[in-house]
Amino acid sequence: MSSFDVVLAVPLCWIAVGLFGLSSRASRAQHARIFFPLGALGGLLLMAAAYPALSGEPHSLVLPLGLPDLRFHVRLDSLAAFFLVLLGAVSAGVSLYSAGYFDKGGGGQIRLVCFQYHVFLASMALVLLADDAYLFMVAWETMALASYFLVTTDHDIAQIRSAGLLYLIVAHIGATVILLCFGILQLGEWSYTFDAMRHNTLAAGWASAAFLLALFGFGAKAGFLPVHVWLPEAHPAAPSPISALMSGVMLKSAVYGLLRVTFDLLHLQLWWWGVVALSLGLLSALFGALFAAVQTDMKRLLAYSSIENLGIILAGVGLTVLFHSYDMNALAALALAATLYHCLNHALFKSLLFIVTGSVMHATGHRSLGKLGGLIRFMPRVAAAGLVGTLAIAGLPPLNGFASEWMLLQAFLLSPSLPNSYLSMLVPVATAALALAVAMAGYVMVKFYGVVFLGLPREELARAHDPDPWEQAGLLWLALWCVVLGLAPMALISATDPIASALVGAAIRDSVQGSSWLFLTAIRPERASYSALLLLAGIVLTVAMTFLLVRRLYHGRVRRSAPWDCGFAPLDARMQDTAEGFGQPIKQIFEPFFKLERSQPSPFDARPLYRSRIEDRIWYWLYVPVMRAVEWLSSLIGILHHGRIHLYLIYSFATLLVLLLLIQ
């Protein structure tokens, strides 16, 4: 039983679990307790089996399914293996969590949820394993479909229905575009396998078309501008574990697809592709950060932050293309490594944060930041996990978020060595945008954590308490990986070596010489180096020393009293900053970016009322006009079907004459 077999077996097991779940008549609690842990087990297996495949020959296999002349081809190479590890790691945590989450209700009939959940997992695994366009598309759309049904679990709420609808429409259009991209890549006559595509040499024009189609199609799934609109709607609508999987893994499958097409299936890369991807990525990153900063719903906030992180990842991809198109492969490898690593990190901390919000919602029944607060005292464990996630996503050392961003910035810093002078000047500026986005993320996450867990509860939340062991296990698992990957980045980055050598023809080893398990370096140690472990050690050491010294030299006496607060009147929760208030400066500074509706109270109002609504300009610039156009056309076309039989006869008469004259 090779690791390949295991990897293939896991999706099947997931489907089986789903089917059993669908057919079983167990009670809700039993159901959750039995099937989701099984799913988690599958995740662990997948992770364990895929990791060795990172380094090692690609295995491939042809299944006796699919179209007659186009059987399902599966292939496990290092790139797929990496994302499979990602999937396994995240799904293990989330499934554990779900075992606790779904037995408390909060989402339709558990049997359906269980089925769709596991089909969702399996389809994601198959997307990564697919080695021909057909299986890929089947898995891809199944993924979309399963997630759609999961998003609309509570479909009695109109808002959730419309969110799901928007999601599925965008997803399907994206999928069709990807399909066209494969249409360009294939050689005709049933040669749809990726293997055939690899040997297909396209003209630059066609290749560019394919790349742009792929960028659009996969972007629609990853939530790049301007096809991001579904994301902040769908993520909050879904049950939290689902949001976690969607944000954590599904978006990454889009990144995988983009990488697969750009570096594996297309035989050439042009520099301007890189520029397009880079600028699009940075735009998305800034956009996501800004909008996240002004959200008042914690899941929306996280959704926008997903847009931001995916933007960063896309920028990384763009940089890789840029370097690779100029044959600066070592640098390309560095950028690629950073990108992949950020994928993994984002998967972990974002899903962690999403399930944290799940626990919070279950404990308090609220998801609006305006109602929460002070939970660190009611649910300390969740708060601790949340803190890890927050620090990680805010890109703070020594956690994993920082490691990948550090590498990415290093890669950006190397860009001046590009031969094209425009690029070498523009890319540093792009770096600034990236830096701004990262800094914004810090702002956003302080807002998130501070408003949810710190301060005083803004509503009565006394019944809030830590969740059951299953949920805690899930939280622990993901938080643990955030820390581990933060402290020992090199371990995994060096493991991704084969990917870089396969895709950009240079091993990361070349781009990070002299780095050890302890030190993460870029190019040369003296060029730049960073060691999270020592950093942490240093901090811990100093903290410990200071603590002891203070205790020894002085004392540790503590008195409790009411907060001082500049000697104001006794405090109440309403005096704190709300999420609204916390976002206000951003709103004010970056006002042009938002479509803002505000009604401010006048000083003389009996009951002063402040209302403000933030909307997405892109929606009004792009989507509304398109919808209008379609409406207009269809209202126009209505005249065709006018009801008068003479008219219909004239149609067919005219058609006849036109055709007759046509063929003359």
Partner 1 sequence: MNAGFFVSQLLQTVLAVSLAPLMLGWVNQCRAWLQNRTGAGVLQPYRLIIKLFHKDAVLAHNASWLFRFAPYTVFGCMVLAVSIVPILATDLPLSPVADLIALVGLFALARVFMALAAMDVGTAFGSLGARREMLVASLAEPALLMVFFTPALISQSTALTTIVETLAHRELTLYPSLAFAAVAFVMVLLAENARIPVDNPSTHLELTMIHEALLLEYSARHLALLEWAHALKLMTYTSIGIALFLPWGIAPAGQWAMMPLSVLAFLVKLLLAGAALALLEAVSAKMRIFRVPEFLGMAFLLAVLGMLTRLLLGSAG
Partner 2 sequence: MSFPLSHQVINLMACLLLLIAFAMLAQRRILRLIYLFALQGLVLSINTAVVALATHQPHLYFSAGLTLALKVVALPWLLHRLIDRLNIRWDVETLLNIPTTMLVGIALVIIAFNLAVPISQLAGTITRSSLGIAMASVLLSFLMMITRRKAVPQVIGFLAMENGLFFAATSATYGMPMVVELGIALDVLVGSFIFGIFFFQIRETFDSLDIHHLEKLKEKA
Partner 3 sequence: MIEIALVLVLPLIGAVLLALKGNRPWAAELNASMSLLTLLAAAALTARIISQGPITAWHELFFVDALNVFLVALTAFVAFTTALFSRVYMRVEQDRGKLSAARLRLYHSMYQLFTLTMLLALLTNNVGILWVAMEGATLATVLLVSLYRTAAGIEAAWKYFILCGVGIAQALFGTILLYLAAEKVLGAGGTALLWTHLNAVQSQLEPNVLSIAFVFVLVGYGTKVGFVPLHNWLPDAHAEGPTPISAVLSGLLLNVALYAVVRNKVLVDGALGSHLAGHLMMGFGLLSVVVAALFLSRQKDVKRLFAYSSIEHMGIISFAFGVGGPVASFAGLLHMSAHSLTKSAIFFAVGHAAQKTGTQLIDQIRGLIHTSPAVGWGLMLGSVAILGMPPFGLFASEFLILTTAVQQHPWATPPLLGALAVAFAAIFSKVQAMVFGETTAQRLPHPPALVPVFLHLLIVLLLGLYIPPYLADWYRTAARLIG
The span from the CA of 306 to the CA of 605, in Å, is 40
462 binds partner 1 (CB under 8 A): no
3-state secondary structure at position 545: helix
3-state secondary structure at position 297: strand
Q: Interface residues with partner 2 (CB under 8 A)? A: 635, 638-646, 649-650, 653, 657, 660-661, 664
**Least gap, CB of 627 to partner 2 (angstroms):** 18
648 binds partner 3 (CB under 8 A): yes
**Least gap, CB of 637 to partner 3 (angstroms):** 4
Q: If contact means CB under 5 to 8 A according to the sort of partner, which of partner 3, partner 2, partner 1, none does residue 409 touch?
A: partner 1
How many C-beta atoms surround the C-beta of residue 506 within 10 A? 22
336-339 long-range Cβ contacts below 8 angstroms, 24+ apart: 336/499, 336/500, 336/503, 336/504, 336/508, 337/407, 337/493, 337/496, 337/500, 337/508, 337/511, 337/512, 338/404, 338/407, 338/408, 338/410, 338/411, 339/255, 339/313, 339/408
Q: If contact means CB under 5 to 8 A according to the sort of partner, which of partner 2, partner 3, partner 1, none does residue 65 touch?
A: partner 3
Q: How far is CA 167 from the centre of its chain?
A: 15
The span from the CA of 262 to the CA of 572, in Å, is 56
Buried b (16+ CB within 10 A) or exposed e, 536-556: beeeeeeeeeeeeeeeeeeee
Between 191 and 529, name the residue whose CB sits nearer to partner 1: 529
x/- track of binding to partner 3 for residues 165-204 (CB under 8 A): x--xx--xx--xx-xx-xxx-x-xxx-x------------
Between 562 and 645, name the residue whose CB sits nearer to partner 2: 645
569 binds partner 1 (CB under 8 A): no
**Least gap, CB of 259 to partner 3 (angstroms):** 21
Q: If contact means CB under 5 to 8 A according to the sort of partner, which of partner 3, partner 1, partner 2, none does residue 156 touch?
A: partner 3
**Least gap, CB of 643 to partner 2 (angstroms):** 3
561 binds partner 1 (CB under 8 A): yes
β-pairing, 70-76 vs 520-521, is unpaired
> Distance from first CA to last CA of the chain, Å, rounded?
69
> Which of 571, 614, 618, 622 touches partner 1 (CB under 8 A)?
571
The CA-atom distances, in angstroms, between 353 and each of 52, 117, 269, 321, 335 are 29, 19, 36, 31, 26
- Residues binding partner 1: what is the number (CB under 8 A)? 85
> Which of 55, 60, 142, 501 touches partner 3 (CB under 8 A)?
142
Between 254 and 353, name the residue whose CB sits nearer to partner 3: 254
Between 204 and 661, name the residue whose CB sits nearer to partner 2: 661
The footprint of partner 1 on residues 98-127 (CB under 8 A) is none
**Least gap, CB of 634 to partner 2 (angstroms):** 9
The span from the CA of 218 to the CA of 61, in Å, is 25
Between 561 and 634, name the residue whose CB sits nearer to partner 2: 634
Q: If contact means CB under 5 to 8 A according to the sort of partner, which of partner 2, partner 1, partner 3, none does residue 539 touch?
A: partner 1
Between 441 and 473, name the residue whose CB sits nearer to partner 1: 441
66 binds partner 3 (CB under 8 A): yes
622 binds partner 3 (CB under 8 A): no
**Residue 114 amino acid letter:** C
> Which of 552, 554, 570, 652 touches partner 1 (CB under 8 A)?
554
How many C-beta atoms surround the C-beta of residue 22 within 10 A? 17
Between 524 and 611, name the residue whose CB sits nearer to partner 1: 524
β-pairing, 59-67 vs 70-76, is antiparallel
**Least gap, CB of 633 to partner 2 (angstroms):** 13
The footprint of partner 1 on residues 592-651 (CB under 8 A) is none
Between 556 and 643, name the residue whose CB sits nearer to partner 2: 643
Q: If contact means CB under 5 to 8 A according to the sort of partner, which of partner 3, partner 2, partner 1, none does residue 525 touch?
A: partner 1
Between 1 and 645, name the residue whose CB sits nearer to partner 2: 645
The span from the CA of 147 to the CA of 234, in Å, is 10
As a whole number of angstroms, the longest Cα–Cα distance in the chain is: 107
Q: If contact means CB under 5 to 8 A according to the sort of partner, which of partner 2, partner 1, partner 3, none does residue 67 touch?
A: partner 3
The span from the CA of 380 to the CA of 363, in Å, is 12
172-175 long-range Cβ contacts below 8 angstroms, 24+ apart: 172/141, 172/144, 173/220, 174/216, 174/217, 174/218, 174/219, 174/220, 174/221, 174/227, 175/137, 175/140, 175/141, 175/144, 175/217
The span from the CA of 123 to the CA of 115, in Å, is 12
Between 621 and 648, name the residue whose CB sits nearer to partner 2: 648
535 binds partner 1 (CB under 8 A): yes
Q: What are phi and psi of 297, to 5 degrees?
A: -115, 125
616 DSSP β-pair partners: 594
Please give the full DSSP string across 209-222, using - where no structure is assigned.
Answer: HHHHHHHHHHHHHH
**Least gap, CB of 624 to partner 2 (angstroms):** 21
> Which of 432, 629, 630, 633 touches partner 1 (CB under 8 A)?
432
x/- track of binding to partner 1 for residues 438-457 (CB under 8 A): xxx-xx-xxx-xxx--xxx-
Q: Which stretch binds partner 1 (CB under 8 A): 135-143, 194-202, 491-499, 528-536?
A: 528-536
Between 27 and 600, name the residue whose CB sits nearer to partner 1: 600
Alpha carbons within 13 A on the beta-carbon side of 203: 2
**Least gap, CB of 541 to partner 1 (angstroms):** 8
Q: If contact means CB under 5 to 8 A according to the sort of partner, which of partner 1, partner 3, partner 2, none does residue 618 touch?
A: none
Between 155 and 524, name the residue whose CB sits nearer to partner 3: 155
Alpha carbons within 13 A on the beta-carbon side of 523: 16
133 binds partner 3 (CB under 8 A): yes
| Closest listed residue to residue 435, CA positions, set 320, 315, 333 | 315
29 binds partner 3 (CB under 8 A): no
Q: If contact means CB under 5 to 8 A according to the sort of partner, which of partner 2, partner 3, partner 1, none does residue 395 touch?
A: partner 1
| Closest listed residue to residue 358, CA positions, set 436, 246, 243 | 243
The span from the CA of 545 to the CA of 557, in Å, is 18
Note whether 241 and 94 are within 8 A (CB).
Answer: yes
The residue with tokens 């550090």 is: 406
3-state secondary structure at position 132: strand
Q: How far is CA 23 from the centre of its chain?
A: 32
**Least gap, CB of 275 to partner 1 (angstroms):** 17
521 DSSP β-pair partners: 529
Site of interaction with partner 3 (CB under 8 A): 64-69, 133-134, 137-138, 141-142, 144-145, 152, 155-156, 158, 161, 164-165, 168-169, 172-173, 176-177, 179-180, 182-184, 186, 188-190, 192, 630-631, 633-635, 637-638, 640-641, 645, 648-649, 651-652, 655-656, 659-660, 663
